[in-house]
């Protein structure tokens, strides 16, 4: 069996539908990972639910399959390849090191899910993150597309998360409907950053030595094309993760291929924060139409469509309530993408093939703000109730314990603190009485 075949088999064997990674059989039998995380036998988000036996906190474990063999980016001569076991160890070590680095440098932001630990066991790299009271965006979209204004609210949250990632010199690279969690209070949180960093490290490629920093300006040499092909196996045909600068050059004639083989690569653009803007545009389109803007049957078809920038039309089923509230606003101005309604201009600007012409995230945040100012009220409260209905039953009071070495909160850390209605009433009455007393004192003083 060829090395490429072994790599593909390893990548596909560990990846389930839509990029999710189920718990491997060995881990399920052992039940405890890293000597502390006991699997609870149910899926959660993109991974599996577990209990940290040291702290009593519920956590989520995401698994990245470690392939049998990944050719490094700078591998040029077969006779100079190191031994298989050393090469595999090097690949695993690089992925573990870079994922751990990203987990440590990612900011503690209210729109980013937290990561606590990274380790490798049973042929998988495991990422331990917080357990959020929410559901993946993919789960909501399986029930039908969302309204443009509700999608704009989530888009604003995600823009804030991405800007926080970019501020520390990272590129997210893994913003998808699976890695976005919609919480019970309607907040959208971006996850998958550390998992994406591990996957990029496994692929190699220019810039692989700098964790989650994207790809610098480098031609489409044989080495970069090999890294792109490895990434296609690990990532799959997910439109959010393949901006045109990541998809590679268009099909070449024999002369162009010969020039690349001789070491003169085709011109290429670096991969930076603009790729996250592309991912946001794809995600907004998917959320409001229920389909991706580009075909996802296989990577080659996706690459060609992304490079062309030709967005396929999607027929969006309109719910009567949404159509009645937003019809006047949506008809007030033309949209390059009518199926996206008032989000059309924003999505169109985020999906420009040339990253230099793509809308930046600060500008996207301003457009979303202007859109939400004129949004009808309330913005689809039924969709928030749908999130609550999909949430699993929470643990009983007292079963989640606090631990100083593993901070965790049994409540959503981004939600407003809970206040008892009776306490609110007493506070309000006390405030009114105090205001009346102050007014009387001032009146007496003025009269004298």
Give the total number of structural domains in the chain.
1
Strand-pair category, 58-65 with 124-130: antiparallel
In a domain, 341, yes or no: yes
Tens digits of per-residue pLDDT, 174-196? 999 999 999 988 899 999 999 99
Taking only the tens place, the pLDDT of each residue in 415-442 is 333 334 445 566 667 778 877 888 887 7
d(CA 125, CA 119): 6
Indicate the Cα dihedral angle 426, 432, 438, 440, nearest 10°. -120
Banded pLDDT at 262 (limits 50, 70, 90): low
Angle between helices 254-261 and 222-235 (to 10 degrees): 100
Q: What is the pLDDT of residue 320?
A: 44
Residue closest to 154 by CA, chosen among 92, 111, 113, 124: 111
CA distance 144 to 319: 10
Mean pLDDT of the region 231-247:
95
Structure tokens at 425: 């009433």
Digit-coded pLDDT (tens) for 110-153: 999 999 999 999 899 999 999 998 999 999 999 999 999 999 99
Write down the pLDDT at residue 12.
36
Name which residue leads in pLDDT, 9 or 116. 116
Cα 439 to Cα 226: distance, rounded to the nearest angstrom: 77
Q: Is residue 249 part of a domain?
A: yes
Burial class, 121, CB count within 10 angstroms (exposed 0-12 / middle 13-18 / buried 19+)? middle
Paired sense of beta strands 134-136 and 180-183, if any: antiparallel
Residue 82 has pLDDT above 80, yes or no: no
**Domain limits at 348?**
3-390
Whether the upstream peptide bond of residue 127 has omega within 30° of 0, thus cis, is no
Residue 109 Cα to chain centre, angstroms: 14
With H, G, I as helix, E, B as strand and everything else as coil, classify residue 112.
Answer: strand
Q: Output the CA torsion sign for 383, 316, 280, 205.
A: positive
pLDDT digits (tens, 9 = 90+) for 341-370: 999 999 999 999 999 999 999 999 999 999
| Per-residue pLDDT tens over the stretch 203-233 | 888 888 888 888 888 888 888 888 999 999 9
Per-residue pLDDT, 241: 98
- CATH at residue 199: 1.10.510.10
Residue at 418 is within a domain: no
Tokens found for residue 255: 């002369």
Q: Report the chain's mean pLDDT, rounded to a whole number.
A: 78
Residue 196, Cα to own-chain centre: how many angstroms? 9
Q: Is residue 130 one of the residues assigned to a domain?
A: yes
Task: Specify if 419 maps to a domain.
Answer: no
- Confirm whether 284 is domain-assigned: yes
Q: Are 120 and 356 in contact (CB under 8 A)?
A: no
Q: Is 382 within the bounds of a domain? A: yes
Q: Is 196 helix (H, G, I), strand (E, B) or coil?
A: helix
Cα–Cα dist 245/358, whole Å: 12
Which pLDDT score is estimated for 305?
A: 93
Asked if residue 353 belongs to a domain, the reply is: yes
Write the CB contacts of 325 (distance below 8 Å, at least 6 apart in sequence).
376
């Amino acid at each position: 069996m060829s090395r490429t075949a072994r790599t593909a088999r390893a990548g596909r064997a560990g990846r389930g539908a839509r990029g999710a990674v189920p718990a491997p059989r060995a881990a399920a039998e052992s039940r405890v990972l890293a000597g502390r995380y006991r699997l609870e036998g149910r899926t959660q988000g993109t991974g599996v639910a577990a209990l940290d036996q040291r702290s009593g906190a519920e956590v989520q474990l995401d698994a990245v399959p470690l392939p049998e063999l990944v050719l490094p980016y700078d591998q040029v001569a077969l006779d100079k390849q190191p031994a298989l076991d050393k090469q595999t160890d090097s690949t695993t070590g690089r992925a573990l090191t870079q994922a751990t680095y990203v987990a440590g440098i990612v900011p503690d932001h209210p729109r980013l899910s937290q990561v606590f630990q990274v380790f490798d066991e049973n042929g998988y790299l495991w990422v331990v993150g917080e357990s959020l009271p929410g559901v993946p965006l993919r789960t909501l979209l399986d029930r039908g597309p969302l309204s443009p204004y509700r999608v704009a609210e989530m888009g604003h949250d995600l823009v804030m998360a991405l800007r926080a990632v970019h501020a520390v010199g990272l590129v997210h690279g893994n913003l998808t409907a699976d890695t976005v969690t919609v919480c019970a209070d309607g907040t959208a949180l971006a996850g998958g950053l550390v998992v994406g960093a591990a996957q990029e490290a496994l692929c190699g490629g220019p810039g692989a030595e700098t964790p989650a920093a994207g790809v610098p300006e480098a031609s489409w040499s044989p080495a970069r094309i090999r890294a792109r092909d490895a990434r296609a196996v690990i990532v799959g045909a997910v439109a959010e993760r393949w901006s045109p600068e990541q998809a590679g050059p268009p099909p070449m004639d024999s002369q162009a291929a010969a020039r690349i083989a001789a070491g003169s690569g085709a011109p290429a653009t670096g991969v930076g924060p603009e790729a996250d803007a592309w991912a946001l545009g794809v995600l907004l389109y998917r959320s409001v139409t229920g389909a991706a803007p580009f075909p996802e049957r296989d990577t080659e078809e996706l690459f060609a469509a992304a490079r062309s920038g030709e967005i396929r039309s999607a027929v969006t089923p309109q719910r009567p309530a949404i159509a009645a509230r937003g019809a006047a606003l949506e008809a007030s101005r033309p949209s390059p993408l009518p199926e996206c309604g008032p989000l059309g201009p924003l999505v169109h600007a985020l999906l420009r093939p040339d990253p230099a012409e793509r809308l930046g995230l600060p500008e996207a945040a301003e457009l979303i703000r202007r859109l939400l100012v004129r949004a009808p009220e309330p913005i689809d409260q039924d969709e928030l109730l749908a999130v609550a209905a999909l949430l699993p039953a929470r643990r009983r009071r007292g079963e989640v314990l606090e631990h100083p070495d593993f901070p965790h909160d049994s409540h959503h850390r981004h939600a407003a603190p809970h206040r008892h209605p009776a306490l609110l009433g007493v506070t309000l009455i006390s405030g009114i009485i105090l205001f009346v007393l102050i007014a009387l004192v001032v009146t007496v003083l003025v009269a004298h």
